[in-house]
Structure 1
Amino acid sequence: MMKRYIGIAILSIGFIPAVAQQFKAEATLPLTDADGFYRVLITPEVAAYPNQTFSNVRLYDAQQKEVPYILEQEQPVYQKEQFREYTIVEKKQEPGCCTMLILENPEKAAINNINLLIRNAEVIKEATLSGSDDQKSWFVIKEKFTLQSIDNPNEAAAMKTVNFPLSNYTYYQLRINDSTQAPLNIIKAGYYNALTSIGAYTEVSPRSIATADSIKQKKTYIHVFFDTLRLLDKVELSLTGTPYFMRQVDVYERQARNTKKGVKDYYEFVTSFGISSAGAAIVHLPMVKSRELMLVVDNQDNPSLTVSSLKVHQLNRYLVAWLKKGEKYTLRFGNEQLAEPSYDLAFFKDSLSYQSTVLKVQNVRAIQEAGKKEESPTFFTDKRVIWVAIILVIGILGFMSVRLIRETNTQKKV
């Protein structure tokens, strides 16, 4: 008998809907002209919804099937090496003497290394490097150094680097002593140039900027307000005032925490940077997500400065996925219960070939707000029905408790 009551209670509870919105927002992708891997740009409008790791983002096709993707982001600042090959002006071998190689540096670039691609040879050679601007007068740069153990186990040639003091001659002459051995086979020569590149950013427009000076604290407070949560990765600040200045700036982000008295806002320190009259300062933020930034300029005993320019940027991040021509796709984000997805695509990240087109999301909308406006109450979402179900469950549980007590007392009397 008791099992029957419990079953009725469970069924009654089952009628109470667990109304919880899984995703906070969604957006659509533009139709593509061809099948292939595309990079979908996460715009500032979209970045307000995902978490810090972007694990609560999902991509769905027209049949509402999940589409695998990988997350890719620009590097704020990165270096890459570029091999620049020299023109071999002259290459000759003098029997019983040496091999002479003359390389041209037409741009007179300042260099401190020459890389030689040489066919494998187990030898030790003595060499001298000289420089000239007219191929007539030669000046020693590095003398009596050795080239040895030219052995690449994977290829038939090996790259050998000759380091030397920084110079900018138009021509370089390499003389290799071959008086007692056969000459080396030098295929090409050049140098590695380290290039510094800056990742792509998208500007995030503030809703407003307010400044205030505190004479007592000797500080200037700059508040940067946004219309909603924004993902912030870089700030560019330019100040004007006195002809020469050098100040320290602290950056804070506005956050909220739950307390016994309710939600309380506070400012959390992010980073510090210096700014001077020499020009604008650029500071990289550690992926801050906030509605407000506060920059505090320490004036010490100096007069306050004026903000002449302030820009905030979000580092470009992309979802890389295989999209079919003309098919509709939907991005949904903000489901805090989702764990990071596990897709096979992650194992082939370095092998992907992208379409040149970068897609921007369209029609970003908050799902919860749209539901409030468009959806009408149904039988199981009507608040009156929900309250009736709750009262029914309470009544059943109360009846069960009284019945259980009576049965227990009866058993004790027996």
Structure 2
Amino acid sequence: MNRYLLLLLWVSVAHMGFSQVKKYNYYKDIHGVQEEWHKIILTDDIYAKTSQHLHDIRIYGFAPNGDTLEAPYILQAKENKTIINRIAFKRINESHNDEGYFYTFETPSKAAINEINLTFRKDNFEWFVNLEGSQNQENWYTIIDDYRILSIRNNSTDYHFTDINFPKSKYKYYRLQIKSAKDPLLTKVSILESQTISGSFNTFKVDDLIYLKGKKTQSEIDVDLGKVSRVNSLKLNIDDKFDYYRPVTIQFLADSFHTEKGWKYSYKTLARGIVNSSKENVFHFDQKTVRKLKIIVDDNQNTPLNITSLTVNEIINELIIRFTKKADYRIYFNAKHPRKTNYDIHYFTKNIPDSLQELSLSKTFLIPKEKVEKDKPLFESELWIWALMAVIIIILGGFSFKMLNSKEVGL
């Protein structure tokens, strides 16, 4: 009896493991598993068949004894990381003359800085600033010259560009000149050391832009990246020398469907912001799988901008995987209504080795699905219905004849 129970339990577990796999539509074989920890770099063909949040990815292994194993993983995006260190300082001097308003700051002698953030009590301005450094307040050295800061605020726009970025400098004193005829009403200053740890990206340029006929006050541009890509930032390259400041919306093709009148396309917003001539027009957003984009620029009554190309940052995502048993492992993807993973290894990332061997993947395989056959109707032809009705009529007629005969005998 116990043998039968164990056999039934084994069959149930095997069925559960197989039913987990059946939820997915594609898989790739994983080659090269030798250690406890490995990594896999996700590829474009996986992105093309997974959901935007990447929840429908699982690693399953098939052991020699028939067990189905699930290997836990951590999805790790190789994005840029910014570390900001705020520097203590004293504002020791303020003055002004015909050339503008001057502010002097004293910082610790060992501090290195590369960013100053300014806050003003007024809006709608355009000023140019100089920044100098000194060790003794006698000899001053230029750090930046004629750096543009800008504020635009009205019913439709609230834009401020008042962060000053410059190469890392190490002086005890800094002197800021704002070239304004009136008091700029500087209310707050933050002095920072900003350090960016570079991630891993594939950067490529897209020159094939299609300008569409949209509203008179808008420019609408279609962009095909040429392949499915996982992106988290892009830059609009604008070949205009005049000053400009315009709202822009960047959308991606999220869905398409066919109707009697042809194909319909559904776009979702990827990013909103401002393109302006005072800085690089780079837009950052949560990573998305995209191929086709639409760029909408609000020109209002201005001459349309000449956007010549896009520079796209394609982010690299890694799966950090722990393998505990020998098995033939596969990566499965593309499932309906997937749940986000919840593995213990997320709480023990310090135990993951710094250097991991990358695993290779096979081509993509489609998982065949069993066709559910519809129950055939009992009567596939109207002749059967007529035949059945004839039989019923004959039977009813026979009963009626017998009843009549029995009544006559009774009389």
TM-score, normalisation: structure 2: 0.52
1:297 equivalent in alignment to 2:304 = no
Query: Do 1:247 and 1:275's aligned partners in 2 also have CA atoms closer than 8 Å?
Result: yes
Of residues 63, 69, 72 in structure 1, which corresponds to 2:76? Answer: 72
CA drift of 1:239 comes to 0.7
1:78-97 deviations in Å (ceiling 9; x for gaps): 435599xxxxxxxxxxxxxx
CA drift of 1:213 comes to 5.9
- CA–CA distance in structure 2, aligned partners of residues 196 and 358 of structure 1: 29
Which AA in structure 2 matches 1:299? D
Cα 1:107–1:68 change in 2 (3 A) is same
Structural mapping, 1:355-374, within 5 Å: 355-357=354-356, 359=358, 361-367=360-366
1:186-218 deviations in Å (ceiling 9; x for gaps): xxxxxx985442562533758873231649614
1:332 equivalent in alignment to 2:315 = no
- CA–CA distance in structure 1, aligned partners of residues 293 and 324 of structure 2: 41
Structural mapping, 1:163-174, within 5 Å: 168-169=171-172
The residue aligned with 1:174 is none
1:328-386 deviations in Å (ceiling 9; x for gaps): 6421111225433343323x344332342463653342526xx69xxxxxxx87xxxx8
Query: Do 1:42 and 1:316's aligned partners in 2 also have CA atoms closer than 8 Å?
Result: yes
CA drift of 1:226 comes to 4.0
- CA–CA distance in structure 1, aligned partners of residues 330 and 224 of structure 2: 30
CA drift of 1:240 comes to 0.6
The residue aligned with 1:91 is none
Cα 1:240–1:54 change in 2 (3 A) is same
The residue aligned with 2:276 is 276
- CA–CA distance in structure 1, aligned partners of residues 251 and 328 of structure 2: 41
- CA–CA distance in structure 2, aligned partners of residues 220 and 358 of structure 1: 48
The residue aligned with 1:265 is 265
Structural mapping, 1:202-281, within 5 Å: 202-203=201-202, 209-212=208-211, 214=213, 217-227=216-226, 229-256=228-255, 264-281=264-281
* More divergent stretch after superposition (38-47 vs 49-58): 38-47
The residue aligned with 2:166 is none
- CA–CA distance in structure 2, aligned partners of residues 108 and 215 of structure 1: 52
CA drift of 1:292 comes to 1.1
- CA–CA distance in structure 1, aligned partners of residues 86 and 28 of structure 2: 40
* More divergent stretch after superposition (213-222 vs 62-71): 213-222
CA drift of 1:59 comes to 1.0
Quote the sequence identity (%): 15
* Runs of at least 5 residues in structure 1 that lack an aligned partner in the other structure: 1-19, 84-104, 112-131, 135-166, 171-191, 373-379
1:221-242 deviations in Å (ceiling 9; x for gaps): 3222145654332112211123
1:304-333 deviations in Å (ceiling 9; x for gaps): 333344122343332221247998642111
Query: Do 1:249 and 1:275's aligned partners in 2 also have CA atoms closer than 8 Å?
Result: yes
1:321 equivalent in alignment to 2:321 = yes
1:158-207 deviations in Å (ceiling 9; x for gaps): xxxxxxxxx9439xxxxxxxxxxxxxxxxxxxxx9854425625337588
Query: Do 2:205 and 2:309's aligned partners in 1 also have CA atoms closer than 8 Å?
Result: no
The residue aligned with 2:120 is none
Which AA in structure 2 matches 1:288? K
Cα 1:291–1:252 change in 2 (3 A) is same
The residue aligned with 2:13 is none
CA drift of 1:283 comes to 0.7
The residue aligned with 2:4 is none
CA drift of 1:294 comes to 0.6
Cα 1:263–1:342 change in 2 (3 A) is farther
Cα 1:53–1:267 change in 2 (3 A) is closer
- CA–CA distance in structure 2, aligned partners of residues 244 and 300 of structure 1: 15
Which AA in structure 2 matches 1:236? K
Count of residue correspondences: 279
Cα 1:215–1:321 change in 2 (3 A) is closer
Query: Do 2:38 and 2:321's aligned partners in 1 also have CA atoms closer than 8 Å?
Result: yes
1:41 equivalent in alignment to 2:41 = yes
What secondary structure is seen at the aligned counterpart in 1 of 2:377?
helix
The residue aligned with 1:25 is 26
- CA–CA distance in structure 1, aligned partners of residues 289 and 245 of structure 2: 29
- CA–CA distance in structure 1, aligned partners of residues 110 and 306 of structure 2: 43
- CA–CA distance in structure 2, aligned partners of residues 204 and 26 of structure 1: 28
- CA–CA distance in structure 1, aligned partners of residues 85 and 59 of structure 2: 36
1:394 equivalent in alignment to 2:394 = no
Query: Do 1:48 and 1:231's aligned partners in 2 also have CA atoms closer than 8 Å?
Result: no
- CA–CA distance in structure 1, aligned partners of residues 32 and 71 of structure 2: 15
Structural mapping, 1:91-240, within 5 Å: 109=112, 168-169=171-172, 195-197=194-196, 200-203=199-202, 209-212=208-211, 214=213, 217-227=216-226, 229-240=228-239
Which AA in structure 1 matches 2:291? R
What secondary structure is seen at the aligned counterpart in 1 of 2:318?
strand
The residue aligned with 1:150 is none
TM-score, normalisation: structure 1: 0.52
- CA–CA distance in structure 1, aligned partners of residues 203 and 24 of structure 2: 24
1:245-264 deviations in Å (ceiling 9; x for gaps): 33332111223366885863
Cα 1:79–1:107 change in 2 (3 A) is closer
Higher relative contact order (CA 8 A, sep 6+): 1
Query: Do 2:212 and 2:222's aligned partners in 1 also have CA atoms closer than 8 Å?
Result: no
* Runs of at least 5 residues in structure 2 that lack an aligned partner in the other structure: 1-20, 88-107, 115-133, 137-169, 174-190, 401-411
Query: Do 2:26 and 2:364's aligned partners in 1 also have CA atoms closer than 8 Å?
Result: yes
The residue aligned with 2:52 is 52
- CA–CA distance in structure 1, aligned partners of residues 56 and 318 of structure 2: 14
Query: Do 2:113 and 2:194's aligned partners in 1 also have CA atoms closer than 8 Å?
Result: no
Which AA in structure 2 matches 1:72? Q
- CA–CA distance in structure 2, aligned partners of residues 110 and 355 of structure 1: 30
